[in-house]
Amino acid sequence: MHVEVLEEIDHQKILDEANTIKVQLNRGWGTLGQVGIQGHKPDLDANTEWQSSIGRGDRLQYPETYFKYHLFNVPTINRIMDKYGMLRTRLMQSDPKSCLTMHQDMSKRIHIPLITNPDCVMIIEDRTYYLEPGKIYLTNTTLRHTAVNASDRARVHIVGCIYS
């Protein structure tokens, strides 16, 4: 299976918590790109560490599996990360009219859609998926895949690595 719904969630509560992260960092959705919400050791300053987990795993200063400590006080999001063993979790934005290259990740990923619409899809192997808000998804991103934002609005997801 390429995409599996793990559970339904209170989308507005998760979005409200994510909004506190962008406010703390003084960054709007239009300038977000990626924000790491887990650090490589406890008690790090989120304002200086939010960029440390961004990039490909082979270019990170610390192995991906070290990014397991909460950087922000977002209780519901933190509980979800702990429940599913999410690592190197980030808020990720794709701009309107954009597409990632086809690629394969080293791990499966959990996706929690925050801001999206039916014109924002993932293509995994030969199948297209719309990940709607209000659900937590396990995606098999070890397979060849891409994300497409064919809309005129930003797409924002919480994305974390799963190594089990």
CATH number, domain containing residue 87: 2.60.120.330
Calpha distance 132→112 (Å, rounded): 9
- Residue for token pair 């200063």: 61
17-22: average pLDDT: 89
pTM: 0.91
Provide the residue range defining the domain that includes 78: 3-162
As a whole number, the mean pLDDT across the chain is: 89
Tokens standing for residue 82: 């702990």
Question: What is the pLDDT, as a whole number, of residue 108?
Answer: 96
Give the Cα-Cα-Cα angle 109, 11, 9 (nearest 5 degrees): 70
Question: What is the pLDDT, as a whole number, of residue 13?
Answer: 97
Calpha distance 126→117 (Å, rounded): 21
Q: Could you give the 3-state DSSP secondary structure of residue 80? A: helix
Domain tally for the chain?
1
